[in-house]
Chains A and B, each alone.
Chain A
Amino acid sequence: MTDVKIKIEHKNFESPETGEAKEVIADLNITLKSGEFVCLAGPSGCGKTTLLNILSGLDKNFQGHIELGQSETKPSIGYVFQNPRLLPWRTVRENLELATKATPKFLDSLLATMKLTSEQQTYPEQLSLGMSRRVSIIRAFANDPDILLMDEPFVSLDPPTARQVRQLLIKLWTDRPHTVLFVTHDLREAITLADRLIFLSNSPMSVITEIPVSIPRDERQYEAQVESFRNKIFSDYPEIFGLL
């Protein structure tokens, strides 16, 4: 794995109704070290999902340069969307087999880590939202991607389920380290997960500041630690308080 370099000079969004172009991203420079877990935090609608769509290759209409993985091969991307986007007419196992080239043994181990072994022949409509989210995380990990993009994957989960899935994600990431770009506007979640936080401004989106998370990973389960780090961010960077 190599470092990921993101440089977006301009990204315009054209309104389908009026046809007016609006600049949503301007002069955005982000570098992710190999195996680093980075959380992007910014206000709703600032263009975070647009950025992930650019990185995943779904949106090619921008000015700039993206460097993911080795240049001679097409980089492999794992994308955990805001909703799980599983094919409802295929079982959990079939969904994973269709989207990945992982060996059956590797899939078995991922399913076991995410506690979904007994659900692999189930159809997505019969799963809870938390389970579907876990399947989409496995799908993203299974291809051994150069970068993992996660777009608020725990939004609309109840707090205990979100906590459980977060813990499983961290276990999976610790076992198989990958470069992760995780979008959220929940600062507590970002502090719990990330090596580094990047705060983004409203449109046109650009980086306001970057803060490394100094709490050791084994201490992030304590809410007091996370809370005090959060308060420190707000006191050091009061402009962030209004953004989230």
Chain B
Amino acid sequence: MQQQLRSQVLTSLSILIFFSLWQGLAFFIDSNTLPPPVTVAKVLWREIQTGQLPYHLGVTLLRLIISFSIAMILGCLIGIALGQHKQLNTFFDHWLIIFLNIPALVTIILCYVWFGLIEVAAILAVVINKVPNVVVTIREGSRALDQDLLEMAECYRFGKWKTFAHVIWPQLYPFVMAASRSGLALIWKIILVVELLGRSNGMGYQLHLFFQLFDVTSILAYTIAFVSIIQLIEWLILKPLDQKALRWRR
């Protein structure tokens, strides 16, 4: 209990110092390029009230959910297959390295050139960027599957579905969580670029607009809103999932 209190005090102190430093620096520089936190908070509130921020944030989050889900499902399936089949892995290993090293910007531009400035191209660009990262992580998990437990499942005739749900999935779970966390961080950064280059709504589009207007206050207000949402996803979804799945550990 005391340790929990100490941890909460430390977290609060850390946030307080961060904002104090920001306030101090803004006061010292005294320029439109770095507005103080209070001014940013006022703009944030105004944007929420006008409905602009919730709209654009909602659009970006929808793109994030769709592309994240597709990338995770595809990445998991391919990763498991490559981890289990040596020859398949040898064949596709170079493809994977190529896709891992193509800059996100190139994929986005190519998708827009080939498919036009449409929603599908935007989602596809994000998915192509993310899938190789998921594949690499899940492939490692798939390679590390405990053969003893798989033999036990075969011997006791678990069948395919029961083996996947009760033997394979719990072993892959930490790798899926790692891929989800890094995926979320990577995807939202890519989505902003995708929106900046070829969409007429979303956070990326708005940030581009504010950049043209040199409106740093709005840029910071939108950034705070977005980072807060990602943090909420971590607290409300990812952490409880982690705790639930690892409750069996000593």
Contact = CB atoms under 8 A, between A and B. Distances in A.
Interface of A: 56-58, 77, 79, 81, 83, 85, 87-90, 98-100, 123, 125-126, 139, 143
A9 B10 CA distance: 71
A139 B155 contact: no
B248 A88 contact: yes
B149 interface: yes
Contacts of B249: 88, 125
Contacts of A98: 156, 158, 162, 166
Contacts of A85: 148-149, 151-152
Contact of B248 (A77, A83, A89): A89
Nearest to A82: B148
A55 B195 CA distance: 61
A99 B148 contact: no
Interface of B: 148-149, 151-152, 154-156, 158, 162, 166-167, 170, 245, 248-250
Given A90-B166, A98-B166, A58 B250 contact: no
A20 B158 CA distance: 34
Contacts of B245: 89
B interface SS class: helix
A87 B167 contact: yes
B60 to A, nearest CB: 35
A81 B148 contact: yes
Nearest to B171: A89
Contacts of B162: 98
A85 B148 CA distance: 7
A81 B147 CA distance: 13
Given A89-B170, A98-B166, A58 B248 contact: no
A143 B156 CA distance: 9
Contacts of B158: 98-99
Contacts of B152: 79, 81, 85, 99
Contacts of B166: 87, 90, 98
A99 B248 contact: no
A99 B154 contact: no
Nearest to A98: B166
